[in-house]
């Protein structure tokens, strides 16, 4: 089966600019996650979708970050305006529901550098 | 709130030897799931092994096995016959048995394989 697709692979922007990341999950996967992974740390959940509804966005900095999942398939994550501390890898993952019986599948991530 | 701790930022092992990565967690729940994920330089998280808390038998997947000590809240990963391809970041993760399917991640251990 095709994996989770993410683009771009790398992005370099200046602070206060905006950026968007795209994720295409595995076909049929209802659950989609966006994680932020700062160098040397484990992933931090930003937002979780179930189909096209938000399950949890409690750790999403809503003053600058937004995410949507139209039609319950593809998803975009946007940062506007970016700050230096947003430099990180942004990982998208999808799952069939229960991460135990249907383990998460991850994309290769987008490495964002904010200068 | 649950937490996951990986106390070894980096470990090294000689090729073909055995190495054990440590993970401890804190929870008041009795039913939960534990995972080890591998993240190579490609950045894609790959599930290595998983364990259900109510199963006493330790999980095994080929060269990978766990030592699950529920009372001690410890979940270590043993890699036997280490191979160069095992070099990666290894993350321990916890999932509550509730319905939101979210994973709580440790900070990771970098595994270096010496040829």
Contact B95 A104 (CB under 8 A): no
Residue B50 contacts A where some CB pair is shorter than 8 Å = yes
Give per-residue pLDDT as tens, B51-87.
Answer: 999 888 999 999 999 999 999 999 999 999 999 999 9
Q: Is the pLDDT of residue A1 over 80?
A: no
pLDDT at B76: 98
| Integer Cα distance of A98 and B95 in angstroms | 10
Model confidence band, residue B1 (pLDDT cutoffs 50, 70, 90): confident
Contact B107 A93 (CB under 8 A): no
Give per-residue pLDDT as tens, A49-105.
Answer: 988 899 999 999 999 999 999 888 999 999 999 999 999 999 999 987 665 667 788
pLDDT at A98: 64
| CA nearest to A36 within chain B | B105
pLDDT at A103: 77
| CA nearest to B41 within chain A | A108
pLDDT at A43: 93
Q: Identify whether A107 is preceded by a cis peptide bond (ω within 30 of 0).
A: no
Partner-chain residue, chosen from B9, B95, B105, that has the shortest CB–CB distance to A43: B105
Q: What is the full DSSP assignment across A47-97?
A: EEEETTEEEE-TTS-TTTEEEE-GGGS-EEEEESS--GGG-EEEEEEEESS
**Across residues B10-37, what is the average pLDDT?**
95
User: How high does pLDDT run on average in chain B?
Assistant: 93
Contact yes or no for B57/B50 (Cβ under 8 A): no
Contact yes or no for B79/B87 (Cβ under 8 A): no
Contact yes or no for B38/B45 (Cβ under 8 A): yes
């Amino acid at each position: 089966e095709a994996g989770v697709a993410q683009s771009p692979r790398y992005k370099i922007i200046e602070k206060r600019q905006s950026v968007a990341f795209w994720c295409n999950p595995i076909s049929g996967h209802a659950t989609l996650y966006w994680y932020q992974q700062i160098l040397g740390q484990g992933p931090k959940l930003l937002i979780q979708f179930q189909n096209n509804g938000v399950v949890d966005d409690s750790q999403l900095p809503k003053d600058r970050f937004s995410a949507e999942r139209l039609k319950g398939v593809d998803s975009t994550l946007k940062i506007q305006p970016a700050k230096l501390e947003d430099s990180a890898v942004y990982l998208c993952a999808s799952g069939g529901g229960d991460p135990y019986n249907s383990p998460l599948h991850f994309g290769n991530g987008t490495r964002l550098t904010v200068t | 709130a649950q937490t996951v701790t990986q106390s070894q930022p980096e470990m090294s092992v000689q090729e073909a030897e055995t190495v054990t990565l440590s993970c401890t967690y804190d929870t008041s729940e009795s039913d939960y799931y534990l995972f080890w994920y591998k993240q190579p330089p490609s950045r894609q998280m790959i599930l290595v092994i998983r364990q259900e808390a109510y199963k006493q038998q330790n999980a095994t997947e080929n060269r990978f096995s766990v030592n699950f000590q529920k009372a001690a809240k410890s979940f270590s990963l043993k890699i036997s016959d280490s191979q160069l391809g095992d070099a990666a970041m290894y993350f321990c993760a916890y999932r509550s048995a509730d319905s939101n399917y979210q994973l709580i991640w440790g900070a990771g251990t970098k595994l270096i394989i010496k040829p």
